[in-house]
A and B are shown apart, each in its own frame.
Chain A
């Protein structure tokens, strides 16, 4: 299938690939998806004392669109507060990458990954969770 130029660009040159130490207090880790579904995303955020996301890392098992979606959101979350990062919507990701309808689930997964990473960070710090959202829809 034909991928958009932006998907190919992110896929060829993925940003912020790698891992932070999961045990580090300043790190929030989100892992979403399932191997059986063909995609798994791991997104990590490093949050400073002011509650701003300073850095992000990802690893993704999945198609080109899934890799591009996660690469893109690592760029987008940097410099944002947790609340701001939570506002990132899958539709924005899909629009930025010009994802076709069959690949919309990749952008949903990326949004879920951000939320999961934020939840993990807040849990570590005993922060109050806003209205809980399921990380994934039931199959």
Chain B
């Protein structure tokens, strides 16, 4: 068993060796520029790019013509939200999103606010999922774009994308969905879901970093304004020489995901439940976000009375991420957990475990044993744990903020 055990698959995944093998010839032998129309090097590169486009389109049941390559999902989210807002600004200036979106969406919306757009940031419910009535109530006559993610990156909860799509379509609002944590993990069918734009990235589905795709619906046609100019690649929507090897890798990763997703998910879910049952043997452990409406590979839990950063330090044999961004100077707990209404203490004590297709039962058992020992040790060190055991209500204590 290799240490540290990798349980951070939502941050990134290793490249599947089958994907890497497929990519290599496109670095060395078939190195042509897919935009070169005058010779065989260009033609073979273009053929590989188009094959990959078919695989990525097939993963979400789209038409290949609806797929635009990007450098990743951050660019995809920027292109979708800014592109749609700027194209449809004649119709209105209001955008709706939610507080638990990824920063790629939130920071893009902030930028649009600086450009004169108005943005509503919805609060999700305590389980992390958006309330459709509150969503409907936020819609204004001048709402032009809605951006709601498919699956949350921290807590793994699945948003009611189909229902949001119905509502948006009926009101003529463009619906963008950041599907980074969903693509390759959940079956996505854009023919059934009334999505207009959807961003994906390869490196969360065992493909390489640095390549993503934006789905842009053709029927009914969705228009966006390009954000990168220079050469008119990707039908003018995203200029720049296509990285053939990355695209080939994304295509292969998407093809494999479509084939193997169901069996992988079953295994991953069983391991996730094994992890949950293991840590639940400790007292005062809280699952963050809805446990049922959640992707199989995510478990986000708070170990009450233990601070997240010191816990991560104690469990350095497992590679996980903390909900608390204590490493930044801000000392802010996770904004996602805060938006769920979690107390600061619980938000500070959270750990995100994300499992993937290479996770083993042996690794999970090792992680559970380590967690139990280290949480108990840190609780012995914790004045809050001592007070809790003495029956002190921590909310009744007058703390001196610092």
Chain B interface extent, by class: 20 to 34
B312 to chain A, nearest CB (A): 9
Q: Least Cβ distance of B276 to chain A in Å?
A: 24
Q: How far apart are A54's CB and chain B's nearest CB, in angstroms?
A: 21
One of A34, A62, A102 near B401 (C-beta < 8 A)? A34
Which of B324, B326, B343, B400 contacts A33, CB < 8 Å?
A: B400
User: In the assembled complex, which residues on chain B have CB atoms less than 8 Å from the CB atom of A1?
Assistant: 327
Interface residues of A, count at CB 8 A: 37
Residues facing B in A33-48 (CB within 8 A) are 33-42
Q: Provide the bound-state CA to CA distance between A63 and B327, in Å.
A: 9
CB of A14 within 8 Å of the partner chain = yes
CB-CB nearest in chain A for B379: A61
Closest Cβ neighbor of A109 among chain B residues:
B402
Residues from chain A with Cβ under 8 Å of B400 in the complex: 32-34, 135-136
Cα–Cα, bound, A112→B348 (Å): 22
Q: Mark A49-92, 1 if CB is under 8 A from B, else 0.
A: 00000000001111110110000000000000000000000000
7 A-B pairs with CB atoms under 8 Å apart are A14-B381, A37-B401, A38-B307, A38-B344, A66-B307, A112-B402, A138-B401
Q: Which residues of A contact B (CB under 8 A)?
A: 1, 3, 11, 14, 17, 19, 31-42, 59-64, 66-67, 101-102, 105, 108-109, 112, 135-139
Chain A residue contacts of B331, Cβ below 8 A = 37-38, 105
Tell me which residues across on chain A come within 8 A of B324, comparing CB atoms: 38
**Nearest-CB residue, chain B, relative to A43:** B383
Contact of A61 (CB < 8 Å), options: B313, B327, B343, B384: B384
Which residues of A have CB within 8 Å of B326? 38, 63
Interface centre among A11, A40, A41, A60, by most chain B C-beta atoms within 10 angstroms, is: A40
Nearest neighbor of A135 in chain B, beta-carbon distance: B400
Question: 4 closest Cβ contacts across the A-B interface?
Answer: A34-B399, A139-B401, A36-B344, A136-B400
Q: Quick check: B383 and A41 within 8 Å, CB to CB?
A: yes
